[in-house]
Chains A and B, each alone.
Chain A
Amino acid sequence: MVSLWLREIAGWSLVALALVLVQWALLYVSNRQVVEAGVVVLMLLGILRAGISLIRVATAARIVTREDR
């Protein structure tokens, strides 16, 4: 169970990092730096996907473990 919680915490950390990158992208766009904003958006999409995937796997595993008990 500890590993599952660790996975979920890691997933949420990645999601928080993606949200910080969203803020960076909006800052770039407000300064008319659209190319830089585009690069940041590409990065944040990948990090967001990874974080969400970790969270979902951990949640599903916890649900299955709880049922097995």
Chain B
Amino acid sequence: MMQRAAAPTSFYRAIMANTLAIVIATLLLMSQLFDGQPFETSLKLGFVLLVLLSVWRMGGIGALLAVQAYLFLTETKTPVSGWHAYVVLPALTLSLVIFIERLRAIRATARQYPRPTTSTWREWAEAAKSRLLPRDSQPTVPLEGSEVGRHVLAVATLFAGALASALVAGWMLRSVPLDFRAPDSVRLRPTELRGIVLASVLMAVMIAVFLVVGELTWRKLSPKQARVYLRDHFARWIETDWLAMHRQRVKARQRTWKRRQLNAAQLIEKNP
């Protein structure tokens, strides 16, 4: 029986790089969120457990919910200000969510391969320690600087993307000023009105981009794709009529069946 090859060692190096990134992001977030709070140690321990649960089962949403719950419970009446609240915290939270999801995706892909044997792990550990080829007969690839750099660059790129998103979002939020007449005129807090204003502006931008991109891609349809789309679209117009006809047929069949059963029962009664 042919045995499938074990997962490439690059998978496990990616897992190590991602795990290290998750540990660093968790430590940084813990220092930002929980310092100076009552029951600081218990909160930090709870956060670490939630991150572990997110990695194991829940996915990035677990960590996101944990941060959101903490911010909700420690919300103050005065609006927050400063780049720490607008950029650092969102960037760290987003990075943590990204790294957790990436780790789960890499592990799911690596699980398709058989588990590595002890000898493979030993080879990899020896290569990582000494950067020399092991003395075993099985060939292995030593830890190359370019591959390590590639994994570090991948993690750094993800963090840079999260930071850029947080910077743009923070700038957009601050570009809409707080309107302090909001509580009197619309019974909203100034920050809530600002959120609605920003959401409206973003919705307008999204509609414009969606129209342009959608039209550009739609005109590149092949004739086969166009046919499938038209059939699906026209079929939906008469879908409700089809369903109504089908239900009527089913009911008529059920009535006929019941009538036959009754007739059969009456015949049996008359002629025992």
Contacts and interface: CB of A to CB of B under 8 A. Distances in A.
Interface in B7-36: none
Nearest to B184: A32
A59 B197 contact: no
B132 interface: no
Instruction: Summarize B's interface: helix, strand, loop or mixed.
Output: helix
B226 A63 contact: yes
B79 interface: no
A18 to B, nearest CB: 8
A52 B207 CA distance: 11
Nearest to B204: A22
B39 interface: no
Interface stretch (B105-113, B148-156, B212-220, B255-263): B212-220
Q: Which among B181, B193, B227 has the greatest number of chain A C-beta atoms within 10 A? A: B227
Nearest to B234: A57
Interface string B204-245: 100110010011001101110011011001000000000000
A30 B196 CA distance: 10
Contact of B214 (A25, A33, A52): A52
Contact of A26 (B201, B211, B219, B229): B201
Contact of B207 (A48, A59, A64, A66): A48
A61 to B, nearest CB: 6
A43 interface: no
Given A32-B193, A57-B233, A26 B214 contact: no
Interface residues of B, number: 28
Contacts of B179: 32
A25 B205 CA distance: 13
B200 interface: yes
Nearest to A59: B218
A29 to B, nearest CB: 5
Given A15-B211, A41-B203, A55-B215, A60 B182 contact: no
Given A34-B188, A48-B207, 5 more contacts: A22-B204, A30-B197, A32-B179, A57-B230, A60-B233
24 contacts: A15-B211, A18-B207, A19-B207, A22-B204, A22-B207, A25-B200, A25-B204, A29-B200, A33-B186, A41-B200, A55-B218, A59-B218, A59-B219, A59-B221, A59-B226, A60-B221, A60-B227, A61-B226, A61-B230, A63-B223, A64-B223, A64-B226, A64-B230, A67-B223
